[in-house]
Amino acid sequence: MSLSRLLVTFLNRLQPSAETVMLVSAIAVGLISGTCVTLFRKLIVFTEELYWHRLEAFLGVKWFWAILLIPMMGALVVSLITSKLRQQEEQVSGKPSRDLGQIAYTKIPLKTVAAALSLGSGASLGPEGPSVELGSNIGAVLGQMLQFSSERIRLLVGAGAAAGLAAGFNAPIAGVFFALEVLLRDSYRTDKSSPNSDVSVVVIASVISALVSQISLGERPAFSLPVYEVRSYWELPLYLGLGVLASVVALLFTRAIAQAQRFFDGKWKYAEFMGELSIPVKLLIGGFCVGIVALTFPEAIGIGYETVESILQDTPFTIPLLSILLVIKLALTAISSASGFVGGIFAPSIFLGAVLGSLYGQAIASFLPASIPIAASPAYALVGMAAVLAGTVRAPLTSVLLLFEMTRDYRIVLPLMAAVGLCAWVIDQTDDSKVNRKTMQWANLPADIEVLEKIKIAEVMTLNPASIKYTMPLLQAAQFITSGYHHSALVFDEVNHLQGILTTQDIKRLISAPVSDPPLEEITVESICTREVICTFADESLAEALKRMATRDLRQMPVVDRHQPKRVIGMVDRLAITTAYNTALTKKAIAARITTIKPTVPAIINGSSNTPNNISNNSFSNNANDKGNDKDNNSLTKEVDIQSSEVVSS
């Protein structure tokens, strides 16, 4: 018997409530994520010791230049693992698309080991991205094993991401806000009856994971930070200036990563040959660049937390050196990421922010007279860390709370909020690209969403949805749903008030258990149906309905009376929305076609034309529209369906 069947059987025998199941799942996600992130951190330390202490001591004694071979050796090892991952992805790509959470178990440890080897060999990336991805994958796998719905799996993915970030930075509050701000943001735009329960799942997973990390690695924060000192409240405008500079660095950083990826993909002019190179060769090029930097500016390679801590402890760094480190770290991170090394951009963003803040603090101190009191450069380094991080990952609340948790000093809150808020605002105003906007994958709305905003639910809803009584035996309800090829059925009470919804997934999850207590013959629909049902209203637009359906990966949604929420008046499904969308686009194309050919079309009086050419023209238009309709239908199907994807790309 598989582990998933054992878990389902155990839960069915206990007959816990949905809230209890999610609570236990959150604890499990926190424990497993905290343990795995701890092992991941120790693996990084082990590989760093192997590469940069033992191997460097062996090579450096004979040939100093041989140090550049160390990252190249690491690149070869990483290439073996990434090639294995590519083979798995190619095997999966030929199969039908899987639901959310249907990921390969072997992919998680392989990618984690690849990240540890990349960071240990000196790649200019960070461990927090892989930690977040590790936690989210653990949540997805657990939800898959327990045969949860897409909504619950998504919640566990968010809880795992929060747990990964909390264990990585020893910052549980920032982990919670990262999940809510970046991953689960769209889930709270719907009318949910118990959003606090979802927040509790994320909070519990984050706290448990941080606790496991503290037990294993100690309670020491990520950095030993200096005591922050407010010299004058007139200093606040200086932090606003730092926020503007941080937005510039963040934009340059994200665009450098994108351009480096285009270069290694062979999309640059005069560099098309790069696209034909194999993965090991690209990694060797990246490793060679890391090695060159290791010979000249070793402060810029690897995770870089030692350099950040030196800056925060006010170790002397000259302005020219800080300027060089800023440029080299930015370029080296882009090369490391694009060449194939595995890692995240949290740590490089923090590095760039610390260097920028220290550079800015020293520069204004040299320009301003000594009579004007300003904070020391480490204070500006602290604020710069949060500002650049917020601009890079597009999570201002997470950045503020992360630095606040590490400093635990209320006096830094105002400068942090000022610089981070201005940085986020500048980026939103100036950057129209969709780089790193992976949260949109959850909704995956069509490009012409404004077309659906003009169509009301009442125009496309069906009036007779499949329905069953809540007292009906489960097996009888299952026969009814499957005989009509329905995906779900609405559950009503004796007075035809909506009580819930029963899906084929609910039935499959219960029937798949080898033993059921009570027996299946005694279970009624009322005991297993989903009580929390997302509904829409007849006067709402299809765009609003599509957004609500996307948050829970729903195929259909009941339409209720706005004044009597328990009274169902119809049902709207994705097929109806797709048809309405294609019809609207076809009408739009017809109108544009008529406008362009209007001077050459014969006059039409009372719906008819005086020329027989009208018949052939109509025939031609219908054929063209049919082909366009098929094309648009395929396009929307790809755009509307919720794709199987990872939550946080490293």
pLDDT at 10: 55
Q: Domain-by-domain residue ranges, the chain?
A: 3-217, 233-437
Q: How many helices (H) and strands (E) does the chain have?
A: 25, 8
Arch. (CATH architecture) of 233-437: Orthogonal Bundle (1.10)
Task: Give the three-class secondary structure for 171.
Answer: coil
Q: pLDDT tens for residues 138-167?
A: 988 888 887 777 777 888 888 888 888 888
Answer whether residue 326 shows pLDDT above 90: yes
pLDDT tens digit sequence for 396-409: 888 888 887 776 66
Check residue 503 and give its pLDDT.
Answer: 83
The alpha carbon of 410 is separated from its chain's Cα centroid by a whole number of angstroms, namely 30
φ, ψ of residue 537 to 5 degrees: the values are -120, 155
Sign of the C-alpha dihedral computed for residues 27, 28, 32 and 33 taken in this order: negative
Q: Which of 227-236, 461-470, 525-534 has the lowest average pLDDT?
A: 227-236
Cα distances (Å, whole numbers) of residue 370 to 250, 366, 367, 375, 616: 31, 9, 9, 12, 86
Q: What's the CATH class of domain 3-217?
A: mainly alpha
Those residues with Cβ within 8 angstroms of residue 457's Cβ, 6 or more apart along the chain or in another chain = 536, 537, 538, 539, 540, 541, 542, 545, 559, 570, 572
- The whole model's pTM is what? 0.68
Tens-place pLDDT, residues 366-379: 888 777 778 888 88
Tokens of 324: 């060089």
Same fold, 3-217 and 233-437: yes
Instruction: Say which residue, 430 or 496, is predicted with more confidence.
Output: 496
- SS3 track for 75-104: HHHHHHHHHHHHHHHHHHHCCCCCCCCCCC
